[in-house]
Amino acid sequence: MFRAWRNAAKLNREPGLLWAWLMTVARRIVIDTHRQRSVRPQEVEPDRLDTVAIPDGSEPMLSKMVVSEALYRLSEEHREALVQTYLHDRTINEAAEVLGVPPGTVKSRVYYALRALKKTMKERG
């Protein structure tokens, strides 16, 4: 309507032509708006950017550090039993063979190592 008002002096006052001109202007406005949206990137409200979570990898790294520190607080025998069974994914018998101790000893060390590890992890929060 603003475009029509600005160009009112140039318009042919015949009702059919005036209506056709107004429809042409409206159609072109719609087309221009559509083209502008497809060319420009979609705008995002600034307040939404404040709530976007960006993964930084710090949480897994902190967890690894806490577990690593807790593992080093264990005795050498307990730590080796856990490393062989959990980290190297060995069975009790395989771990016993690698460590050179009976399987019952590996089971016992793993049991007590897990208890100590759990206690240490609770203390660390």
Q: Would you state the pLDDT for residue 49? A: 56
d(CA 76, CA 56): 33
In order along its 125 residues, the chain shows pLDDT tens digits of 676 667 767 766 776 777 787 788 888 888 888 887 777 666 666 666 566 667 777 788 878 888 888 888 889 999 999 999 988 999 999 999 999 999 999 999 999 999 998 888 888 76
Q: Do residues 90 and 84 lie in contact, with contact meaning Cβ atoms separated by under 8 Å?
A: yes
| Predicted pLDDT of residue 78 | 94
Question: For the chain, how far is it from start to end, CA to CA, in angstroms?
Answer: 67
The residue type found at 44 is: V
Dist CA 40 CA 34 (whole Å): 10
Joined together, the tokens standing for residue 65 give 């550090």
Distances (CA, A) of 70 to 26, 65, 107: 71, 9, 20
The whole-number pLDDT of residue 47 equals 62
CA distance 120 to 106: 21
Query: At 15, is the secondary structure helix, strand, or coil?
Result: helix
Q: What's the pLDDT score for residue 90?
A: 93
CATH number, domain 59-124, options 1.20.120.160, 3.10.690.10, 1.10.10.10, 3.40.50.620: 1.10.10.10
| The predicted structure's pLDDT at residue 26 | 83
Sequence ranges of the domains in the chain: 2-39, 59-124
